[in-house]
Amino acid sequence: MSYIQLDQVTKRFGAVKAVDSLNLGIEQGECVAMLGPSGCGKTTTLRMVAGFEDLDDGEIRVGERIISSRRKRFYLPPENRNFGMVFQAFAVWPHLSVFENVAFPLRIRKLPKAEIEARTEEALRHTNLWAVADGSPDDLSGGGKQRVALARALAIRPDVMLLDEPLSSLDPHFREEMRFEIKDLQRRFGFSILYVTHDQSEAMALADRLMVMRLGVVQQVGTPLEIYGAPANRFVFEFIGLSSFLKVALRDGKMDVGGTAYAPPSPPPEALIAEGGAWLAARPNEISFTSEGGVGCVVERKAYLGEVIDYRVRVGDAEVRVQKTRRDPGPAVGEACGLIFERPRWYPLEG
């Protein structure tokens, strides 16, 4: 059994199921990131693991301990779970020094003074804050304040670290820096992480596995490569990474878009051919331009994004997004050309 185990975890708010029969196992030392649109249930799941919300059904275990179980009518308060928690807000006290901010939860636990000082110093050194231990957190940058929050969570020597959008309020430079620091701390201390974020690049950089949720239901759990390369359904494909969709008619193994017949390199499933139509989906970087054949289109917009050129092209009534490297000049705005879908995926028109 996994180190952290969620079995049939359910949470209701009135008639709404915020989390519906969720099953998830997290190994010791593993980082799992929860992704999904607002209201999908990821923060509610984190709060149930933390103990801030009780379950309406199911059970949560950590190691050999049951921490929440509706069936057994057991609930362990948050302060007894030994979890570190880092929120989106920095949650530092400006009237306390950096040292005292980190030492505070240890003083609440009434640990011996020598142990408090040793643990606090260790956490501050591991988060590169020892040099400013006597200073005010108000003198630190946003990244520095979030390091204080991390150090405070580390000082209790948590079994599990729970992170709820911890980097979303930082600018891009600090955000990238903190990703590496969090991952480095996890390797150093060996704790498990349950991480909530809206930032897909952040999740992919940090997590060993991703869990994608929608309307309280888990859509897919897998490594970043599995989620991106082999999405379980259209929602996951559309939510993770960039995507383009075309509604096509299917006849004799070929697709018809705006009266143009095209035989894609990967034909649609027989079931979709029998239905006579489907959604063709592709990543923008898996679509190529051609001067002969392909799906006819006209380039409407072209933008340089550093190493990438981003195209918006018109195919019939639909807009398709294409991305190529800047070394490939590609067609000009207003130019008519063709599209080759190198790795198409197929989804039913309904559902």
Share the mean pLDDT of the chain. 90
What does pTM read for this prediction?
0.87
Q: Which amino acid is at 320?
A: V
Helix (H, G, I), strand (E, B) or coil at 105: helix
Give pLDDT tens digits for 234-243. 999 999 999 9
Token pair belonging to 303: 């933008």
Confidence of residue 254 (pLDDT cuts 50, 70, 90): confident
∠ CA 27-29-30, nearest 5°, is 60
Q: Which of 187-196, 218-227, 258-267 has the lowest mean pLDDT?
A: 258-267
Q: What is the pLDDT of residue 351?
A: 58
Confidence of residue 195 (pLDDT cuts 50, 70, 90): very high
Residue 281 pLDDT > 90: yes
Q: What residues does 162 pair with on adjacent strands?
A: 85, 194
Residue 24 pLDDT > 90: yes
Statement to judge: residues 221 and 259 lie in one domain: no
Statement to judge: residues 203 and 97 lie in one domain: yes
Selection from 64-68, 169-173, 257-261 with the highest mean pLDDT: 64-68
Give the domain CATH number at 331: 2.40.50.140
* Closest to 106 (Cα-Cα) out of 114, 97, 96, 116: 116
Statement to judge: residues 192 and 292 lie in one domain: no
Last residue of a domain, one of 237, 259, 279: 237
Q: What is the pLDDT of residue 258?
A: 65
Statement to judge: residues 142 and 273 lie in one domain: no
Residue 90 pLDDT > 80: no
Report the C-alpha dihedral over residues 161, 167, 172, 177, rounded to 10 degrees.
-30
Confidence of residue 43 (pLDDT cuts 50, 70, 90): very high
The percentage of the chain sitting over the pLDDT mark of 90, rounded to a whole number, equals 61
Statement to judge: residues 208 and 342 lie in one domain: no
Look-up of token digits 């869990």? 211
Q: What is the pLDDT of residue 216?
A: 95
Maximum alpha-carbon separation in the chain? 79
Spatial distance between the Cα atoms of 14 and 31, rounded to a whole number of angstroms: 32
Statement to judge: residues 255 and 231 lie in one domain: no
Statement to judge: residues 59 and 144 lie in one domain: yes
Confidence of residue 301 (pLDDT cuts 50, 70, 90): very high
Spatial distance between the Cα atoms of 109 and 167, rounded to a whole number of angstroms: 28
Q: How many CA atoms does the CB half-sphere of 76 hold within 13 Å?
A: 16
Whole domain around residue 291: which residue ranges? Answer: 242-347
Give the domain CATH number at 188: 3.40.50.300
Statement to judge: residues 267 and 332 lie in one domain: yes
Statement to judge: residues 152 and 284 lie in one domain: no
Domains of the chain: total: 2
Statement to judge: residues 230 and 246 lie in one domain: no
Token pair belonging to 129: 């804050």
pLDDT, greater one: 351 or 188: 188
Residue 36 pLDDT > 70: yes
Spatial distance between the Cα atoms of 57 and 239, rounded to a whole number of angstroms: 28
Q: What is the pLDDT of residue 1?
A: 67
Statement to judge: residues 137 and 220 lie in one domain: yes
Residue 32 pLDDT > 70: yes
Last residue of a domain, one of 219, 237, 255: 237
Give pLDDT tens digits for 91-150. 788 899 999 999 998 998 999 999 999 999 999 998 889 999 999 988 988 888 888 988
Stated as kind and residue range, the H or E segment containing 104 is helix 98-108
Statement to judge: residues 35 and 107 lie in one domain: yes
Last residue of a domain, one of 237, 268, 291: 237
